[in-house]
Amino acid sequence: MSREAELRADLVRLGALLYQRGLAHGSAGNLSVRLDDGSLLVTPTNSCLGMLRPDQISRVSPAGKLLDGDPPSKEAFFHLAVYEERPKAGAVVHLHSTYSVALSCLCHDCAEDVLPPLTAYYAMRVGRLPLIDYYRPGDRALAEAVRAQARNHRAMLLANHGPIVSAASLEQAIHAYEELEETAKIFFILGDRPAAPLDARRVAELETAFPS
């Protein structure tokens, strides 16, 4: 099986897993991976991640031109911005999962990092989580806002919308996304009780021991 065929199969298999786990619903959310030639495989517009077919998955050029398959997600433009800014990124995951979206709807005092490092795995796989202002669906200005944060962050949260998470591989990006969703869930379970997130010294120790 070619590398592209393998990645198409991975998108189908892992998209179904995300749907079955309740992290994706309806036709919300999109996944992408970068091929060796720089083109991208992106889940198609109006598709359900639980019911993808390998041949319908869109292949687009680095400039966003459709090369093969169905038309890509209407949110593919911000995937492109992440890949442009992160040369080592091999995959991008964007879902509208419940706890992360709830977090994106809160008022936040500091938009630079909106979820505390409650656990070591969150700090290692996600790191800081900046909040990006709300944009209406399809607004291309969102791509520039994403681009500005993607330079320094592998994950970001779109206000009143949901997270974008990138990593070297699709599995790694999904693991990081799940870590983010579970940490958002823990954040809400803790509620107003005084929590003790990892302090700056402990986060720095993790960054040294496990550089991203």
Phi then psi for residue 151, to 5 deg, are -55, -40
Query: Among this protein's residues, is 121 annotated catalytic?
Result: yes
Distance CA 117, CA 124 (A): 9
Name which of 15, 6, 4, 83 is nearest 47 in CA terms: 15
Q: Which is it for the CA torsion 13, 53, 91, 46, positive or negative?
A: negative
- Cross-strand pairs, 66: 60
Q: What distance in Å separates the CA atoms of residue 66 and residue 138, rounded to the nearest whole number?
A: 17
Query: In the sheet where 155-158 sits, what is the strand order?
Result: 66-68, 58-60, 40-42, 30-34, 91-94, 162-167, 155-158, 131-132
Amino acid at site 8: R
Among candidate residues 4, 75, 178, 179, the one labeled active-site is 75
Residue 75 annotated in active site:
yes
Instruction: Determine contact, residues 74/137, Cβ cutoff 8 Å.
Output: yes
Q: Which of 85, 121, 182, 205 is catalytic?
A: 121
Catalytic residues: 75, 121
